[in-house]
């Protein structure tokens, strides 16, 4: 299976918005969100605008061979603009548990060398374990994990640097 990233053009934004509903559904387990009156998990699509308005924001589709498998939204963290941040990361369930997320992570950081952080909801232990393992595979023990507040949520922050 070949894993690749493709920058999302504004013309393909609607595909990201469609996939984002599945991401919201996955996150509802931890955030307590429910579907709307039509049974859909929705979000405000304007929250994605910065990915086509700000040069510091980069949206990627994840592909396995030629099939879309998810997305990775990368940005400079607003509070620390010198730090890259994975804003949102989503792999479709059919691809989970196959090492694809780790391959995507390696491709993402290879495209953006420098200081990094990954934020993980405190309640999402599986995601924390995944990210720690992925980061360890790339930087060894040169990372730190701490609890911090992001906007209004207590989250784990995994901080590291990728030089080459």
Q: The domain that contains 113 carries what CATH number?
A: 3.40.630.30
- Using 50 as the pLDDT threshold, list the residues of the chain that sit under it: none
Domain assignment present for 61: yes
Helix crossing, 125-139 with 100-111: angle to 10°? 60
pLDDT, residue 72, reads: 98
What is the Cα–Cα distance from 96 to 100, expressed in whole angstroms?
7
pTM listed for this prediction: 0.92
pLDDT, residue 106, reads: 96
The structure tokens listed for 90 are 């989503």
pLDDT, residue 8, reads: 98
pLDDT, residue 18, reads: 95
What is the Cα–Cα distance from 157 to 20, expressed in whole angstroms?
23
pLDDT, residue 160, reads: 97
Tracing tokens 């920058």 back to the chain, one arrives at: 7
Domain assignment present for 89: yes
Structural domains of the chain, count:
1
CA 120, distance to chain mean position in Å, is: 10
**Residues ≥6 apart with Cβ < 8 Å to 42:** 21, 24, 35, 36
Domain encompassing residue 91: 3-7+56-162
pLDDT, residue 92, reads: 94
The two counts, helices (H) then strands (E), for the chain are 4, 7
């Amino acid at each position: 299976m070949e894993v690749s990233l493709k920058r999302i053009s504004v013309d393909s934004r609607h595909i990201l918005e469609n996939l984002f509903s599945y991401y919201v559904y996955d996150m509802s387990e931890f955030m307590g969100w429910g579907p709307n009156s039509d049974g859909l998990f929705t979000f405000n699509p304007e929250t994605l605008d910065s990915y086509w308005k700000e040069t510091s924001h980069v949206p990627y589709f994840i592909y396995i061979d030629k099939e879309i498998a998810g997305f990775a939204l990368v940005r400079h963290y607003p509070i620390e603009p010198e730090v890259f941040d994975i804003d949102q990361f989503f792999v479709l369930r059919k691809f989970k548990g196959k090492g694809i997320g780790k391959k995507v992570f390696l491709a993402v950081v290879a495209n953006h060398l420098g200081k990094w952080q990954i934020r993980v909801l405190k309640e999402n232990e599986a995601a924390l374990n995944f990210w720690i393992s992925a980061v360890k595979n790339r930087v060894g023990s040169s990372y730190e994990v701490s609890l911090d507040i992001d906007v209004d949520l207590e989250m784990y922050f995994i901080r590291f640097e990728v030089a080459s």
